[in-house]
Every structure is written in structure tokens, then in C-alpha cells.
Amino acid sequence: MRMTAQQAQPWVTLLLAGLLLLHPFVTIRQGAFLFVLASLGSLLLSISRRNRNQRFFFYAFGVLLAASLFLNVQTTTYRTLLYLLCTMTHFFFIFIVISDLLKTHDITKNEIFGLVNCYLIVATVFSFIYEIASFSDPHALAYSQGFPSDHTVFLYFSFATITTLGYGDVIPVSPLMRNIAILEAVFGQFYIAIVVAYILSRYIQRKNA
């Protein structure tokens, strides 16, 4: 029996959580490989086998991302291209999951995992945006322990921002970076307060019924 896109969401959660745990312990090229693997893996598990358009976009993004791994990820231009490609695949994943949620009448635990995955992926996308913005202005963020050498600090700052945790060891300085941080923080609060609360209420109603 084949696993449906909804049933695959818990596996996508494990894939994304594994990426977050492994990323601090790998090199820049290995980290890029993990992001590509997570991007393609989440898409592969989420697309419907009957939807030709989704499969076409998956193959197109797959070829582009696989080709990008052969580029020099130490170079700013190539890393920007790689992050933009990963961002597009992540947005494609979010579009698929949200579309499935709108079409689903019965909310199960699989849809809850889908919401978690969207939350993790949005924070990852913002980490790409922060690093791309720092390429043009290296002083857009202030760091308590020197300038970061890899993507881990931006990933950490993004999750600290979307959860409004704010340890204060990484601080947005430039107006652009502050506006991006505000946008992510507002999204994080509205996502939990409105989207997740609405889906959870439907899930609880279904369980009670």
C-alpha cells in the first residue's frame, strides 16, 4: 500500500528535524547538500503521484538543485543562487501542504504534522533571506562572538525571531534587517494564533464527534 502525501508529513518532520540537528556539525558544502536533500525529500514525500504538474516542478527543481551542488558554495554568488533555489522548493512545498489542508474535510494528525513542517520551513527560508541580506551588508547584524563563518548562526537567529525568543546575542542593526525580523516575528505569532489554532480546533471537534 502506497503512502499518501498527507501520511508522509510525519516523515517530513523527521527529515527537517534531522537537518536542524546535523547542520551545526558539518562543513559549508555538506550543509548545502543537507539543505538540498531536505528540500527534495520534503517535496518528494508531499507531492501527489497523480498530479503531473507537481511532478514536473519537482523534476525541474531537482535538476537545478542537483546541478547547484557542483558549484563553489564558498562563493557568495553561488551560495545566493543555491539559497534562492532552496527557497523556491520550500515555497512550493508550503503551497502543496496548504492546498491539501484547504481541501481536507477531516483533520487528522497528519495535517497537524503538515502545519509543523510549514512552520519549520518558513523559519528556514527566513534564514536564507538573512544571509543573502548580509552578503550586501556584512554589518546588518551585530554578533556577540564575531562574524559567523557558516549558515548556522542565521538559522539560529531566524528560529529565535519567529518564536520571539530573542536571546540578544544576534541583533539586527540595519533598517532592512530589522524590517525582515519584524515581518518574521509577526508571521510567527499570527501563524500560531490563527492558522494552528483554527486547524487544532477542527481536529478536536473531529475527535469529539
Instruction: Count up the domains in the chain and report the number.
Output: 1
Helices 76-103 & 28-46 angle (0-180, nearest 10): 20
| Count of residues making up the chain | 209
- Please check whether residue 1 lies inside any domain of the structure: no
Give 25's DSSP letter: G
Grid cell in block for residue 41: 525529500
Grid cell in block for residue 186: 509577526
Give 97's DSSP letter: H
Q: 153 is in which domain, residue-wise?
A: 9-208
Do 164 and 188 form a contact (C-beta atoms < 8 A)? yes
- Please check whether residue 185 lies inside any domain of the structure: yes
- Please check whether residue 115 lies inside any domain of the structure: yes
pLDDT of residue 130: 92
Q: Is the pLDDT of residue 189 over 70?
A: yes
Grid cell in block for residue 188: 510567527
- Please check whether residue 2 lies inside any domain of the structure: no
- Please check whether residue 160 lies inside any domain of the structure: yes
CATH number of the domain enclosing 89 = 1.10.287.70
Compute the distance between CA of residue 32 and CA of residue 48 in angstroms, rounded to an integer: 26
| C-alpha atoms less than 13 angstroms from C-alpha of 78 in its C-beta half-sphere | 13
- Please check whether residue 203 lies inside any domain of the structure: yes
pTM of the shown model = 0.87
- Please check whether residue 16 lies inside any domain of the structure: yes
- First CA to last CA across the chain, in angstroms? 28
Helix (H, G, I), strand (E, B) or coil at 172: strand
Position 203 confidence tier, pLDDT thresholds 50, 70, 90? confident
Grid cell in block for residue 80: 545566493
**Assign residue 24 a region: left if phi > 0, alpha if psi is -120 to 50, beta otherwise?**
alpha
Backbone angles phi, psi at 6, to 5 degrees: -70, -40
Grid cell in block for residue 3: 503512502
Model confidence pLDDT, tens digit, residues 98-136: 887 777 777 778 888 888 898 999 999 999 999 898 888
Backbone angles phi, psi at 141, to 5 degrees: -120, 145
Model confidence pLDDT, tens digit, residues 42-78: 878 887 666 777 788 888 888 888 787 777 777 888 8
Grid cell in block for residue 150: 557558516
Position 1 confidence tier, pLDDT thresholds 50, 70, 90? very low
- Please check whether residue 4 lies inside any domain of the structure: no
Name residues whose C-beta falls within 8 Å of residue 162's C-beta, 6 or more positions apart in sequence. Answer: 119, 122, 123, 126, 184, 185, 187, 188
